[in-house]
Structure 1
Amino acid sequence: MLNDTARLIRALLMLTMSCFIVISGISQVNYESYILTPAPPLSPVINGPKVYAARANSPITYRIPATGERPILFSATNLPAGITLDVNTGIITGSIPQEGEYICHLTAANKKGKYKRDLKFVIGNTLALTPPMGWNSWYIHYDRVSDPIMRDAADQMIESGMADYGYQYVNIDDCWAVKVNSDDPIIGGKTRKPDGTILTNKRFPNMSAMTKYIHSKGLKAGIYTSPGPSTCAGYTGSYQHEALDAQTIANWGFDFLKYDWCSYGRYAGERKRKDFMLPYQIMWKELQKQPRDIVMNLCQYGFDSVWQWGATVGNSWRTTGDLGVERGDDLPGFYHVGFKNAEHWKYGGPGGWNDPDYILIGWVGSAHTMGEGVYTSLTPDEQYSYMSMWSLMSAPLIFSGDMSKLDKFTLNVLCNSEVIEVDQDPLGKQARIVRKTDKDFILAKEMEDGSLAVGLFNLQKSESPVAVSWEELDITGKRRVRDLWRQKDLNKTNHSFTANAPPHGVMMIRLAKK
């Protein structure tokens, strides 16, 4: 979508921006000096999830996430019948007719080397066996979102390298439909066709063409609506049109639906559990009838302990209110949302994930004013804590900042392969709370290979040591310690681990048997 001149201008802007970011016009921070993630090797490395879920005969689009010097040639052995691999792009397409588990062997090769890794296809009735990864338009574009913005986001997911680490969903949030009772010539007008089919506003002239463009990149497309008659921003909702809207969304080619409570509250009856479940049960049932897989995200802010029942009607569920309006105190708002989400660690797992909301770093807009983007006020160390906590909690990794202004520091936070590996671990266990005091917070997550990922968070305003014992972690014996952000091994240790963590910062490690 961008011509060569535009790309050159953008690259120069990003180079300048990545060195010095002005925050609120007060100070300059050299963010490059805070970068911890090592540059990937020139030889290929395959990243992202090790498992892909789909239903039998549903269309599959999967771009193998791989870093390394381009061009990279891809190959695969033992691919199940019905799917093919484009050796130049690494995009797998097709459909698999028979339920079952299929392990194929992937290879990525360039002039610098070769990398091999297995990918398991699980064909059945459960989607999202690892937390979804991608981007959402809300916290940067709000009611300004448009077809060109979505296409550009897909371009940037490829060009920035985010797709090489497993980010794949490009999701429209609110404001794509027609605004109810609006006479604005762009966003107003008739809300539905005579047969009830939902209409888009003029910023989205052809949804099918847009999703086709996103799919051509090997990415997936997401959309948003509400079970009420109107969305949170006042656009057309799905109330009493659930079956037709599910069919329309599938026909347009979408792979993900965020279903936001919004105006449904007035129809929620006695507000007992059955009333909170009902709108999601209805849409979930309709999505199952469609000929393509659509992952469903429940956005209802944790009502009625949704973590206890969300997995019966969806693939992820928001556990709190919007993070964008969460007010911090001595700690930034993401900490408070994370503390609440972490309490529900027993309920998340493959096919159904606790969702603490989006990753709001880089350039983001105010949720209070729906304004244009400004650079995050979070310190570099707070941003590392944010990404560490979300990964340990097996949260969906959905970035919602400006894809056109991705600087080197923001990408270093979003694209650390070893941190993402913790989030995408196939075992799918959410980290448990080991300790929470007014000074520190410790999470520990069991991994498929028997290792333990641990986050040691310093809640104080100054650098402080944070320690954890093997007794607290319920492990014994000598352990190899891996610093995940710096991607380097530390000394082996027998009984405990201590790290000096920066203010509001984190030490994220992985403990493996020697």
Structure 2
Amino acid sequence: MSYLRNLLCGSALAWVGAVAAQAQPAAPRADFHQWAPSPPMGWNSWDCYGPTVTEAETRANADYMARHLKASGWEYVVVDIRWYVGNDTAHGYNEKNPDWNLDQYGRFVPAPNRFPSAAGGKGFKPLADYLHAKGLKFGIHLMRGVPVVAVQRRLPIKGTRLTAADIYTKDGQCQWLHDMYTVVPTRPGAQAYYNSLFELYASWGVDFVKIDDLSEPYHAGEIELIRRAIDRTGRKIVFSMSPGETPLADARHAQQHANMWRTVGDFWDSWEQLKEHFAVCARWAPYIMAGAWPDADMLPLGRLGIRAERGDDRQSRFTPDEQRTLMTLWSIFRSPLMFGGDLPSTDAATLALLTNPRVLAVHKASTHNRQLFRRGDLVGWVADDPRTGDKFLALFNAQDQEQAPASAAALAGPPISREVWQAPLDVDIAGAQKLYLVVRGGADGTAWDHADWLNPVLTDGVGKTLDLTTLPWRTASAGWGQATVGKSVSGGPLRVAGQTYAAGIGTHANSLIEYDVPAGYPRFRATVGLDQAAAGQNTGGTFQALVFTQSPLLPAPADSVRVPVALAELGLAGGATVQDLWSGQTLGAVSDEFAPYVRRHGAGFYRLVRRRLP
């Protein structure tokens, strides 16, 4: 009986302690929106180093920022995902035998083999101090929830008699990384757990936190726990939610709890993805608010992929025109600017993109930012200068070389989706000198169109075959990542409907792979399927595979076109003087219409100064 009484008393005390911790009111403080009055600007390690960045690499990027970018407003240095795993790997997380680093309260701490200054329980404080001494700010990435390993070890929640096992559920666990379990917001101890996290990170001097698997799908309960925990610390920690697209239905909630939230999934150096941003930014423009910023994701510019999740060590695949389009759209949309390239490797042209004072002034202080028009693939955005009444105008030419219709293909496969995972293809290509493998997206509203060409072969029809993966392609494109022989576009094995394939090509809609066809092979055979990497991360993913023997592209449009704008549309019926923001040149006066030529995939960015009447 005494044992039972003691057990009940202990449980009651634990409950009371946990409730008291949850009920503790946040200290009165200034509105968190004041911590990010303009969109944050900084560097994030993800695009270069994936989950493997080191302290030396972080310091090198911080040193470059302090020397070359700080004067232009760049200030955050953010260590992205899994800094607490000592043996993580590039091109895919190590979930087999991760070397966890966490404290006695189940809170992750930096891996000292990667961040030596963290040894001896110092955490990230020495690294944060290093950045602060340079006038910069320090940020880290976190996964939503409570560590699985903390639950398994039943580690205590600081300030309570509860453990991690008392606040978790497996429901809603992240599908693409299994480090964490969901925290049940209504459980005793849930708020205390998040409070303890941010107590620790505030003590290190963290200024920015990017929390993943939080906004798509949207976890309102945990978002509110995080907001209260940050406020309770008394430290101005900017709160960024990831990934996206955040549901539009939750936009107001996001504004009330976070400083920035993602509008898309991971964005890489793909024109297909960049072009999609015109529609995304137009959707989110009404929700731009000082201190609460829709986030179009990082800037994949400069040197990327050193040890990243997507692709190999490379310079950004964006052309110079596309790079200017990216910076122009992000600036007039006022997205946070988080540079993804390796800063010490930055060339002069990229540095000029990042430090143009006239463009950054629009990003920092313009108002009423909105899409003015979209005429097919010609797009106009406008914003106001609140100090002068001038107008900022961004014009984009997003025209592409049009695709030939599916009816022109030698073979058009069936739609591939979760209902039809894969399909065999067998097509006569007799007499063809070219073979084009094409994947087109299914327009289901998601970007998870990971496609695999499995066991692709050329055959003479009677037994002789040639494995297509042994031939070099002439060109290969992918809408996300890059086409890869022997691997999916995500970097994992080629895996469709539970089966792994050794031979094949992983790619992503929209994709075009071109081969020269050797003589003597009049047929092409393959199986095309939706890769498991897409199935594990989203509910969508549809595409169509097509085989062409003639170019699947129609003749290209002109290199540049006029994009006319009536000044009356801008409220400048009396005329204006135009300045080119990228070059700084004054282009002269216009009366009724401004109609510059804009290059294909390029952008023009202008200040229109209202003509003053004498």
Please report the TM-score for the alignment, with normalisation by the length of structure 1: 0.68
Contact 2:243–2:266 (CA under 8 A) maintained in structure 1: no
Gaps of 5+ in 2: 1-26, 119-123, 148-173, 184-189, 401-558
Cα distance in 1 for partners of 2:87, 2:570 equals 53
Q: What is the aligned counterpart of 1:310 among 254, 276, 284?
A: 254
Distance 1:302 1:308, change over 3 A: farther
Contact 1:179–1:235 (CA under 8 A) maintained in structure 2: no
Q: What is the aligned counterpart of 1:504 among 577, 587, 601?
A: 601
Identity across matched positions, percent = 26
Contact 2:42–2:339 (CA under 8 A) maintained in structure 1: yes
Please report the TM-score for the alignment, with normalisation by the length of structure 2: 0.57
Give the aligned partner of residue 385 of structure 2: 447
Gaps of 5+ in 1: 1-57, 59-97, 100-122, 266-270
Per the TM alignment, residue 304 of structure 1 is displaced from its structure 2 partner at its CA by 2.5
Distance 1:238 1:189, change over 3 A: farther
1:321 matched to 2:265: yes
Give the aligned partner of residue 137 of structure 1: 45
Cα distance in 1 for partners of 2:353, 2:110 equals 35
Per the TM alignment, residue 237 of structure 1 is displaced from its structure 2 partner at its CA by 7.8
Give the aligned partner of residue 395 of structure 2: 456
Give the aligned partner of residue 259 of structure 1: 211
Q: What is the aligned counterpart of 1:212 among 100, 110, 129?
A: 129
Contact 1:276–1:304 (CA under 8 A) maintained in structure 2: no
Q: Give CA deviations for 1:341-360 in whole Å, capped at 9, x if unaligned.
A: 22221111211011010111
Per the TM alignment, residue 193 of structure 1 is displaced from its structure 2 partner at its CA by 2.1
Q: What is the aligned counterpart of 2:111 among 201, 222, 226?
A: 201
Distance 1:198 1:157, change over 3 A: same
Give the aligned partner of residue 68 of structure 1: none
Per the TM alignment, residue 166 of structure 1 is displaced from its structure 2 partner at its CA by 0.7
Give the aligned partner of residue 139 of structure 2: 222
Contact 1:140–1:400 (CA under 8 A) maintained in structure 2: yes
Cα distance in 1 for partners of 2:110, 2:308 equals 25
Distance 1:177 1:245, change over 3 A: same
Q: Is 141-150 or 228-237 further displaced after alignment?
A: 228-237
Distance 1:276 1:366, change over 3 A: farther
Q: Give CA deviations for 1:218-256 in whole Å, capped at 9, x if unaligned.
A: 000111102134685555689553221111111111100
Per the TM alignment, residue 439 of structure 1 is displaced from its structure 2 partner at its CA by 3.3
Per the TM alignment, residue 418 of structure 1 is displaced from its structure 2 partner at its CA by 0.3
Root-mean-square deviation (CA, aligned residues, Å) is 3.1
Match for 2:385: what amino acid? M
**1:170 alignment partner, SS class:** strand
Contact 2:50–2:308 (CA under 8 A) maintained in structure 1: no
Give the aligned partner of residue 40 of structure 1: none
Contact 1:175–1:235 (CA under 8 A) maintained in structure 2: no
Cα distance in 1 for partners of 2:226, 2:44 equals 21
Match for 2:47: what amino acid? Y
Q: Give CA deviations for 1:383-404 in whole Å, capped at 9, x if unaligned.
A: 1111000000011011111112
Matches within 5 A, 1:384-399: 384-399=324-339
1:178 matched to 2:116: no
Contact 1:145–1:175 (CA under 8 A) maintained in structure 2: no
Distance 1:333 1:371, change over 3 A: closer
Q: Which has the larger radius of gyration?
A: 2
Matches within 5 A, 1:402-441: 402-425=342-365, 429=367, 431-441=369-379
Cα distance in 2 for partners of 1:341, 1:180 equals 38
Contact 1:131–1:396 (CA under 8 A) maintained in structure 2: yes
Q: What is the aligned counterpart of 2:69 among 153, 162, 167?
A: 162
Distance 1:430 1:171, change over 3 A: farther
Q: Is 384-393 or 150-159 further displaced after alignment?
A: 150-159
Matches within 5 A, 1:36-185: 126-159=34-67, 161-178=68-85
Per the TM alignment, residue 372 of structure 1 is displaced from its structure 2 partner at its CA by 4.2
Give the aligned partner of residue 365 of structure 1: 305
Match for 1:133: what amino acid? M
Contact 2:567–2:575 (CA under 8 A) maintained in structure 1: no
Q: What is the aligned counterpart of 1:343 among 270, 279, 283?
A: 283
Distance 1:224 1:124, change over 3 A: closer
Match for 2:72: what amino acid? Y
Per the TM alignment, residue 378 of structure 1 is displaced from its structure 2 partner at its CA by 1.1
**2:139 alignment partner, SS class:** strand
Distance 1:301 1:376, change over 3 A: same
Contact 2:66–2:135 (CA under 8 A) maintained in structure 1: no
Per the TM alignment, residue 150 of structure 1 is displaced from its structure 2 partner at its CA by 1.0
Per the TM alignment, residue 189 of structure 1 is displaced from its structure 2 partner at its CA by 3.7
Match for 2:235: what amino acid? R
Q: What is the aligned counterpart of 1:249 among 184, 201, 204?
A: 201
Per the TM alignment, residue 153 of structure 1 is displaced from its structure 2 partner at its CA by 0.8
Match for 1:295: what amino acid? V
Cα distance in 2 for partners of 1:143, 1:380 equals 29
**1:321 alignment partner, SS class:** coil
**2:393 alignment partner, SS class:** strand
**2:344 alignment partner, SS class:** helix
Give the aligned partner of residue 575 of structure 2: 478
Aligned residues: 380
Match for 2:223: what amino acid? Y
Cα distance in 2 for partners of 1:254, 1:369 equals 25
Q: Give CA deviations for 1:6-39 in whole Å, capped at 9, x if unaligned.
A: xxxxxxxxxxxxxxxxxxxxxxxxxxxxxxxxxx
Cα distance in 2 for partners of 1:368, 1:255 equals 24
Q: Give CA deviations for 1:256-304 in whole Å, capped at 9, x if unaligned.
A: 0101116x98xxxxx7xxx631111111110001132100011131233
Q: Give CA deviations for 1:316-354 in whole Å, capped at 9, x if unaligned.
A: 110111112x8x5xx542121243122221111211011
Q: Is 469-478 or 210-219 further displaced after alignment?
A: 469-478
Contact 1:221–1:256 (CA under 8 A) maintained in structure 2: yes
**1:224 alignment partner, SS class:** strand
Match for 2:144: what amino acid? P
